[in-house]
Amino acid sequence: MINIQTLKKNFNNETVLKDINLTISNGEIIALLGPSGAGKSTLLRCLNGFERPTSGVLTINGQPIPTQPKSLQAFRKNIGFIFQNFNLVNRMTVIDNALCGRLAYTSTVKSFFKIFSKEDRELAEYYLNKVGIYEYRHKRVDQLSGGQRQRVAIARSLIQQPTILLADEPVASLDPKTAHSIMNLLQRLKEEENLTLIMTLHHVELAKEYAQRIIGLNHGVIKIDTLSQLISVEQLYKLYEQHENNSEQEMKVGELIASY
Amino acid sequence: MQAIDKKRTTIPKILKSNIKVLLYTLLFMAVIYWSAIGVKLNVVELMEGLPNMWNIISSMFPPSLANFGQYVSSMLITIQMSITGTLIAIILSIPLGIGAAQNMSPHSSIYRACRFILNVIRSIPELIVALVFVAAVGLGPFAGVMAMAIHSAGMLGKFYAEAIENISKGEIEALQAAGANKIQILRFAVWPQILPEFIGVSLYRWEINVRAATVLGLVGAGGIGFDLLSTQRLFKYEETATIIILILVTVVIMDRLCASIRSRII
């Protein structure tokens, strides 16, 4: 269970998350929606300790997120993370990439020489088979398509044997058909592996189709928190309109672009 | 109307930029003139010196094969120096490079210290380092190897650090998310990404070191450079020619060898 109370997050005096109160039970599929800059990625990244809340309480199964590196590494075994850009090491093979998910279970010396136990290798093959990429296991990642790469990344996170899977825009870099096949895969794996699945999405339709619960954020505040069957796509679109009317936010986006 | 306005405003601009170009050109020429005066550049003297130069070159022919065996073994020592020196440099520069890479350095004070060390050892010329080592460990290839290693480590460390800083952050983050520690991240996210650059830069440094090893011999640090100097001092120009040809052939072979290794790995 994930419990968040009065969570606030600032980036250099700019408030990204204002006052987040949220309880997530085991086994839920949650979609975080909201316009760019609403804070959905930041919220997701708080859950595995990539970002530290400025104030407030965040516990996972009653435990706060450790700050000491060793215990943080152990804590992260339990939480898988999937990225929009897959973040695979392109010059390594599929199976070596998948085995990276076992690093927290492997001693530093052994991993330095790329020695993984037989069980770990079998686990990697098992999950590569499960995500449908087994036959490519000895290929280098840069020879695969986007959808195939995301499958490898999913296998890498599952091999950690997590109970929580976080996905930051998992299908934003993929074409619509591949996006659906990846979403189906995530949905299936969530059932088979008893995961809690939390993902940020920017497609309202995908959220409605695949998530059980939808959380809508705007300006760092939760505006919508409901079961997806109880809300229509039109109502969800309103979340984005609020953003367009707000000139202050527009300005911030402008500044952000200018700062690049 | 608008077009005419534009023209009126741009003409002075063009003039202005032309004057600027003219001024910079004059300044540039003045600097060149100043430098040429300083080094007493004199074409007439050069022309007058040509017969002398011809004398030296003609006395080099035909290259003599006396002591050829000795020079080949000196050349081999020079190559051995370059290999050992480059290897020691790589070993020294890996920790320095990691420490001097902002994204992988364990601490900001270590980062600054590594940067400083790299800058210092890079800016001291090899020959100076060699003189220090010759004084410390005596004449011979070992002093040359150490000088080469120290100087090369400065360059290699800087290049490794830059290669590490240029890798994409995503892969590091992915491994952090999987609970990997810093050494594991270096091994699985950093190393595969910098490997092509690591090999390329190291080979390039080896090529340079083959030539550097020759020059180091001139200050008594062993190898073919030492023979080059002594034959010249004894006016055995035919043998000097043999040595020069030997060096040329070696450098060309090294060049080819490195190119083929590089194309095979990268």
Q: Read off the pLDDT of residues B109-167 as tens digits, 9 standing for 90 and up.
A: 999 999 999 999 988 888 888 888 888 888 878 888 888 899 999 999 999 999 999 99
Q: Read off the pLDDT of residues A239-251 as tens digits, 9 standing for 90 and up.
A: 887 554 454 544 4
> What is the mean predicted confidence (pLDDT) over A127-139?
93
* Number of neighbouring beta carbons within 10 Å of residue B232: 15
The residue of A85, A100, A156 whose CB has the most chain B CBs within 10 angstroms, and thus the best one to mutate to test that interface, is A100
List chain A domain ranges: 85-161
> How far apart, in Å, are the Cα atoms of B124 and each of A38, A186, B98, B213?
53, 58, 22, 16
Residues B188, A89: C-beta atoms closer than 8 Å:
yes
Residues A111, B193: C-beta atoms closer than 8 Å:
no
Sequential DSSP letters for B136-183: HH-SSHHHHHHHHHHHHHHHHHHHHHHHHHTS-HHHHHHHHHTT--HH
**Which residues of chain B does A75 touch, with a Cβ-Cβ cutoff of 8 Å?**
179
Question: Is B107 touching A (CB cutoff 8 A)?
Answer: no
Report whether pLDDT(A24) > 50. Answer: yes
Does the predicted interface ipTM exceed a cut of 0.90?
A: no
Distance from CA of A119 to the nearest CA of B (A): 18
List chain B domain ranges: 2-59, 68-265
Residues A81, B177: C-beta atoms closer than 8 Å:
yes
* pLDDT at position B1: 47
β-strands A29-33, A55-60: how paired? unpaired
**Which residues of chain B does A72 touch, with a Cβ-Cβ cutoff of 8 Å?**
179
Q: How many distinct helices (H) and strands (E) make up chain A?
A: 10, 10
B88 confidence band (pLDDT: 50, 70, 90):
very high
Q: What is the fold of B68-265?
A: MetI-like fold (1.10.3720)
> How far apart, in Å, are the Cα atoms of B190 and each of A137, B172, B198, B209?
21, 8, 11, 27
A97 confidence band (pLDDT: 50, 70, 90):
very high
The residue of A51, A82, A89 whose CB has the most chain B CBs within 10 angstroms, and thus the best one to mutate to test that interface, is A89
Q: How far apart are CA B188 and CA B167, in angstroms?
A: 12
A66 confidence band (pLDDT: 50, 70, 90):
very high
Residues A156, B174: C-beta atoms closer than 8 Å:
yes
Q: How far apart are CA A87 and CA A118, in angstroms?
A: 25
**Which residues of chain B does A160 touch, with a Cβ-Cβ cutoff of 8 Å?**
178-179
Q: Read off the pLDDT of residues B23-40 as tens digits, 9 standing for 90 and up.
A: 999 999 999 999 988 888
Judge contact between A99 and A77, C-beta under 8 A: no
| Residues contacting residue B203 through CB under 8 Å, at least 6 positions apart | B258, B261, B262
Highest mean pLDDT: which range of A53-67, B40-54, B217-231: A53-67
User: Helices in chain A by DSSP H: which ranges?
Assistant: 40-47, 69-76, 94-99, 108-112, 118-130, 146-158, 176-192, 204-210, 233-245, 247-259
pTM: 0.78
Question: Is B187 touching A (CB cutoff 8 A)?
Answer: yes
**Which residues of chain A does B198 touch, with a Cβ-Cβ cutoff of 8 Å?**
none
Q: Read off the pLDDT of residues B173-197 as tens digits, 9 standing for 90 and up.
A: 999 999 999 999 999 999 999 998 9
* Number of neighbouring beta carbons within 10 Å of residue A50: 18
Judge contact between A233 and A208, C-beta under 8 A: yes
